[in-house]
Amino acid sequence: MPYIANTPEQQTEMLRAIGTDLEGLFADIPSALRCAGLKVASGLPEQDVRRRMAVVADRNRADLVGFLGGGFYDHFVPAAVSAIVSRSEFATSYTPYQPEISQGVLQAIYEYQSAICRLTGMEVSNASLYDGGTALYEAIMMALRVTGRRRVVVDDSVSPIYRTMVRTYTRNLGIELVETSSRIGLADREALARVINDQTAAVAVQNPNFFGCLDDFSDVAELAHRHGALLIASAYPVSLGIVKTPGAMGADLVVGEGQSLGMPLSFGGPYLGFMAARKEHVRKMPGRIAGRTVDAQGRQGFVLTLQAREQHIRREKATSNICTNQGLCALTALVFMSLLGKQGFRELALSCAEKASYAAQRLQAIPEVRMRFGKRWFFNEFVLELPVAADRVIRRLLEKGFAAGFPLGRYYPHMEKSLLVAVTEKRTKEEIDLFAHTLEVSL
């Protein structure tokens, strides 16, 4: 039997030691509750499982040349990332409850927290959350705890995927969720000024936003702070290789999707939610946090700390219910950032921006195709306005082997002709040229 070590002889011996038979081990389950037999197929040998799953995997089109982003990006993952992360000392350990034999994971969490702080320009980070959407929800809940208020403003240039999630989680909690409409691709300052008031707990924005546009939210942070509200910024970590940090803009909480830091797209997960904050708010943070301390001999060591916030101590009074988070994904992000390093990470961002800028140039040269948001600055994703419905173009390009981008009409009903195009460092100039040519002849 797969993954069972005891032999029948050992089983007999063990039952004798217990003083029962097999039936006796389950005598406490009333017969009315026993299951007659599952309708499940028989098990398969490893080779057969491999073959079968390879066939299933081949029924997916993971080979398309991808210009699809929408917050989830096809970045190159260096070989050393998986070599390190797949080490079973990391992969097969539990949450580090016994620090003396978990220094590897605990130090890695501390280093991850440090890297996230350095990347975002913030002072503290937690050990990870599930994904960018739940991270935004947790940040909103945290802002409610910090301010004691119930009103939250979210701009509609924040990922619609995250906004629908936030709506689900806050529905029954008596939270007033106000959405502002962006204007020509950016958060509308006048609209924000109209709705931010002294009851507002937080204002949530995103940079680059869902349309790929870059913004500087320093003025929004000031406006929020004037009313005693927090600024929550959702960020795309790779962009922070060159883009101004949310910390420098005055954000109080920074969250985001960390998938781009070395995780495969993997049809939606596992990904990584990250959260960073200003030091003063750390005791209101959700999730695990590692800290540096010493043992009796003065040797440096790491522990999970500030646990009085957490569910296993505080139960219904905890700051969050989170227990298992995305430990190995946080390690992946740390290894990815360490391999690229200070210079490489900047170059990665530059490479994305260069190729995107080249692609934008090529694509807007096509007759009747223009940049929807004119001269707005972008990082590696931008919106093309097509002469026909984006769906039509996407369908034609799929036939030619391209995932052309995301049709914004899915979430923004007045944008049927808008195509959100993402370019990462993985796309070559040749692919971009061929993409532009194919798009032109498909119109």
The reply to whether 348 sits near another protein by the rule CB under 8 A is yes
Name the residue type at position 85: V
- Of residues 5, 264, 278, 313, the one with CA closest to residue 122: 278
Task: Convert residues 86-125 into a mask of x (bound to another protein by CB under 8 A) and - (unbound).
Answer: xxxxxxxxxxxxxxxxxxxx-xxxxx-xxx-xxx-x-xxx
The reply to whether 23 sits near another protein by the rule CB under 8 A is no
Question: Which residues, numbered 182-201, are part of the site for another protein (CB under 8 A)?
Answer: none
The SS3 assignment for 66 reads: strand
Q: Which of 8, 33, 367, 374 touches another protein by CB under 8 A?
A: 33
Provide CB contacts within 8 A for 166, sequence distance 6+.
133, 136, 137, 140, 154, 177
Tell the smallest beta-carbon distance from residue 230 to another protein (Å).
19
Q: Which of 8, 17, 148, 374 touches another protein by CB under 8 A?
A: 17
Task: Convert residues 63-82 into a mask of x (bound to another protein by CB under 8 A) and - (unbound).
Answer: xx-x-x-xxx-x-x-x-x-x
Whichever of 219 and 227 has its CB closer to another protein, that residue is 219
Q: Are 129 and 116 in contact (CB under 8 A)?
A: no
The reply to whether 50 sits near another protein by the rule CB under 8 A is yes
Whichever of 199 and 361 has its CB closer to another protein, that residue is 361
Q: How far apart are CA 237 and CA 314, in angstroms?
A: 32
Q: How far is CA 140 from CA 132, 137, 149, 155, 279, in A?
A: 12, 5, 11, 13, 17
Q: Which stretch binds another protein (CB under 8 A): 128-136, 143-151, 196-204, 223-231?
A: 128-136
Provide CB contacts within 8 A for 109, sequence distance 6+.
96, 127, 288, 290, 302, 327, 330
- Helices within 318-402 (DSSP H only): 327-364, 390-399
Question: Which residues, numbered 274-303, are part of the site for another protein (CB under 8 A)?
Answer: 282, 288-297, 299-303
Q: Which stretch binds another protein (CB under 8 A): 148-156, 176-184, 195-203, 259-267?
A: 259-267
Q: Which of 147, 200, 325, 418 touches another protein by CB under 8 A?
A: 325
The reply to whether 387 sits near another protein by the rule CB under 8 A is no
Largest CA distance in the chain: 84
Whichever of 228 and 269 has its CB closer to another protein, that residue is 269
Tell the smallest beta-carbon distance from residue 262 to another protein (Å).
11
For 198, counting Cβ atoms within 10 Å of its Cβ (0-12 exposed, 13-18 middle, 19+ buried), the class is exposed
Provide CB contacts within 8 A for 299, sequence distance 6+.
none
Q: Which stretch binds another protein (CB under 8 A): 142-150, 161-169, 186-194, 435-443?
A: 161-169
Name the residue type at position 260: S
- Of residues 298, 259, 256, the one with CA closest to residue 77: 259
The reply to whether 385 sits near another protein by the rule CB under 8 A is no
Number of residues that bind another protein (CB under 8 A): 213
Question: Which residues, numbered 396-435, are part of the site for another protein (CB under 8 A)?
Answer: 398, 403, 406-407, 410, 425-426, 428-429
